[in-house]
Structure 1
Amino acid sequence: MDVTGGKPRARSGGYEVSVLLLLTLANGVVAFDRLTVAYLSPYIVADLQLSNQQLGLLAAALSGAIALSAFFGGRIADQTGQRKLILIICTVLFSLGSGAGGLAMSFAVLFGARAMLGLAEGPMVPISQAVIAQTSAPERRGVAMGFMQMVGAFGIAGILGPIVATQLAEDYGWRMTMLLSIVPGLLLALGIAFVLKRDEPRAAVLAAADAEKGDQGSFIDAIGQLLTISNMRVALAVAAMFTAWLVLQNTFLAVYLTDVKGLSPQTAGSVIAMGGVAGIVGGIGLPFVSDRIGRKPVMVGAALAGMGCPIALLMLPGDPILLGAAILLGWLPLGIAPLYCATVPTESVSPALAATAIGLTMGTAEFFGGVVLPPLAGALADGFGLQSVFLICIALALGAAMVAMFLKETAPRIAAQAEL
């Protein structure tokens, strides 16, 4: 299915690249602000005297808000056609929400600040991915969507994030580090305002929807229509399990490396930064391969490989080189995130439901992976040790691989060959 709804926009290659780079940068800043608490957790836990369960609840506050706003924000963008305006508003609000965490003097206030951040952040990736799907050529769609989501999230947030955040916290304190995060987001809002062109006239979008028999009804109608599509059900299940795999490691990894493996916060930050390198390599490489051999084999194989990192973290000694290598190799499977969150949904639904489908997938992923499991995993960690978190991650990766086997191929090149 062509997510552009037929004939693509007449956009120049230069504009396509400009949009890709701008939204990649925006996603990177969003991810950095999101992961700040995880990177600074050794400082925050010590200052506010938090338990592992409370640390999990902070992740749940953010993910719960994202779960709600990702779907509803994506649906509103589809219904109104005002993707650019919504992106600008959300960028400003998430910047303010990120900085507000630096003012928190208690767990309750920090919890509220993270929820505010999540509400503003939720619509950004679904809308950005819908824009990328519309502006990119079909043969480059997978790699473009992977580049935006993974290079941004893991280049800026994954590589630079843990190093910059822990160093700033060491020099100026964790509160000032969070307050400084306001500035990049505000600058990005200006960039979106000046670079991103006007949205398609809504009439054109509706015409594409009619051609594909897209439903423009209520939120409930949209969900019902999406759930009738088998690929959407597979994408939702894989997204839920593999997002949980990632969120649990992001939430507890810094504390695990410092408390269990005996690393300093700065060394732990450098070790975690290897995940950023893995995210970039996997985020470009796996979607690129999927454009050529198909989405299904890449998703199944990568999910199985996702068992490797938590196993290594449990077995290796507290050697930062070995632990960094385990994360560098073990987080390469993260590259399938753009496939299950964005590429497969947009290739499986009507163009008028593209942002809605991505929002539903991300909302489901955030709810299960970010709301339900982190507090439960934190409670288990308080009772049985932080090692229990990584045992859960092993089971999640295996489950995601099993579900991905039911995916129907959507890669344009492979699907076209199958029709011959």
Structure 2
Amino acid sequence: MDQSVSAPAGYRPPARGGRYENVLLAVLFSTFGFVFFDRLALNFLTPFFKDELGLTNAHIGLLGGIPALTWAVAGICVGFLSDRLDRRKPLLVAAIVTFTLFSALSGFVGGLASLLLFRALMGAAEGAVLPLAQPMMLHSSTPRRRGLNMGLLQGSSAGLLGGILGPIVTVWLAESFGWRAAFYATVVPGLIMAALVLTLVRDLRLRHPATVAMDADVPDVPSAGGPRAALRSRNVVVCLVIAIFYLTWFTTTQTFTPLYLAEVKGFDPGQLGFVLSGIGVAWVLWGAVVPGISDRIGRKPAMVGFSALAALSPLAIIGIDAPGLLFAALVLTYTGLGCFTLFMATIPAETVPRAVMATALGLIMGVGEVVGGFVAPALAGRLSDAFGLDASMLISSGAAVVVVLLSLALVETAPARRRGTAG
């Protein structure tokens, strides 16, 4: 492999463990959490601008889906580009500045066309973040904290900043200063995140000999990278298919649960908000706990067990009528978002050659977002129109059951489990 593009004079790879591990986790946690804050902000602000901009429900659905589509394309392209260039930090800073800019520009729109354009460009920039951030986190994590760190970065951060703080802050800003000001305000945390990455994070060049020596437990092959190299791994192919069904579980549940609780259950706004907050709590809790447990029991058992629990969440929405009991049930069973880190980042990153790591992560995220994030909700909506909203919950539960079966085909990658097997 030609290492000339990634071996500048005097380059030292980022440290593993110690203070830098914690600093990197804090910065990337905040960065990816802010990505989801931005991505979900439009959902929370819709009631404030829908009538003013003359939008229909079909328009709102399109606005919600377009970032998933561009997120997917960007994830694949930027993952491949970062592997080719063997650079991550400059691309990450550029992505943060770009999605912050287009999020803020959403406050200047005058109608559907301009809002669609800015949300599409914002989604493209946001889709670049995860394939860049997770390889950096994997490299600087000690093996016993690898799954936990990657879970905090991808799962808990999105739940805390996007799922819990997001609706509180954006709705308050919209009520106090107007919905346009809520979009403008995203400039401040975005620029802060970019500055923190620029000053506190070191670039990671995976093909540099010093990095290769540090990453002895990460697979490598002396061959050209690219999607073909990534897809040679059974784990990557299995994770790619898992992504389709897990994104179907996630987006279908997220899209239709508020409607189901309001129209079928008859929950008032207070009850609705209370129950939905259970999903946010579960997102934060299981986003860290599931990957942390997988460090000890293995990635494969964690995927099987917690995906089986996730299949129960949509059934609980159908079967439980008491808001308090349903809140508790969702906190206990909405475990799938903890599994997202495993199949989207940890398992493929522990499987593929370092030269195609970001490519693999981008492919898995991209295909999952296109099919599960963009196509599946539309299909679930059509079936719900034909057979009732129960259909959406059954589709979601069935998708999680398929994930359980697919997870049985995974090859174990957790360092502790591999050492135990070798011994």
Distance 1:265 1:96 in 2: 33
Q: 1:112 aligns with which of 88, 94, 117?
A: 117
Aligned to 2:8: none
**1:195 and 2:197 aligned:** no
SS in 2 for 1:17: helix
Distance 2:108 2:97 in 1: 18
The alpha-carbon deviation at position 295 of structure 1 amounts to 0.7
Aligned to 1:3: none
Unaligned runs of 5+ in 2: 1-11
SS in 2 for 1:212: coil
Q: Which one is further off, 275-284 or 358-367?
A: 275-284
- Show the 5 A alignment for 1:52-201: 52-200=57-205
Q: 1:401 aligns with which of 401, 404, 407?
A: 404
Checking the alignment, whether the CA contact within 8 Å between 1:163 and 1:273 is kept in structure 2 is no
Compared with structure 1, are the counterparts of its residues 373 and 24 closer, same or farther at alpha carbon in structure 2 (3 Å cutoff)? same
The alpha-carbon deviation at position 313 of structure 1 amounts to 1.6
Q: 1:238 aligns with which of 227, 239, 242?
A: 242
Distance 2:47 2:327 in 1: 18
Aligned to 2:319: 315
Distance 1:110 1:313 in 2: 33
Q: Deviations over 1:223-244 (max 9, x none)?
A: 2222221111111111121122
Unaligned runs of 5+ in 1: 1-6
Checking the alignment, whether the CA contact within 8 Å between 1:60 and 1:370 is kept in structure 2 is yes
The alpha-carbon deviation at position 417 of structure 1 amounts to 1.8
Distance 1:407 1:46 in 2: 48
Checking the alignment, whether the CA contact within 8 Å between 1:57 and 1:375 is kept in structure 2 is no
Aligned to 1:281: 285
**What amino acid sits opposite 2:399 in the alignment?**
L
Distance 1:64 1:124 in 2: 15
Aligned to 1:364: 367
Distance 1:46 1:328 in 2: 34
How high is the sequence identity, in percent, across the aligned residues? Answer: 37
Aligned to 2:327: 324
SS in 2 for 1:348: coil
Aligned to 1:300: 304
Q: Deviations over 1:63-118 (max 9, x none)?
A: 11011111111111122122111111100111122223333343333322221111
Compared with structure 1, are the counterparts of its residues 53 and 403 closer, same or farther at alpha carbon in structure 2 (3 Å cutoff)? farther
Q: 2:391 aligns with which of 368, 388, 391?
A: 388
SS in 2 for 1:416: helix
Checking the alignment, whether the CA contact within 8 Å between 2:13 and 2:204 is kept in structure 1 is no
Distance 1:47 1:361 in 2: 38
Distance 1:178 1:113 in 2: 12
**1:17 and 2:31 aligned:** no
Distance 2:265 2:171 in 1: 18
Compared with structure 1, are the counterparts of its residues 114 and 323 closer, same or farther at alpha carbon in structure 2 (3 Å cutoff)? farther
Q: Deviations over 1:95-151 (max 9, x none)?
A: 122223333343333322221111101110111001000111122111111111112
What number of residue pairs does the alignment pair up? 409
Aligned to 2:3: none
Q: Which one is further off, 238-247 or 334-343?
A: 238-247
Checking the alignment, whether the CA contact within 8 Å between 2:230 and 2:352 is kept in structure 1 is yes
Aligned to 2:41: 36
Distance 1:103 1:249 in 2: 31
The alpha-carbon deviation at position 270 of structure 1 amounts to 4.3
Q: Deviations over 1:202-258 (max 9, x none)?
A: 5438967998225435xxxx2222222111111111112112211222233344444
RMSD across aligned positions (CA): 2.7
Q: Which one is further off, 16-25 or 162-171?
A: 162-171
Distance 2:53 2:333 in 1: 32
Distance 2:165 2:355 in 1: 36
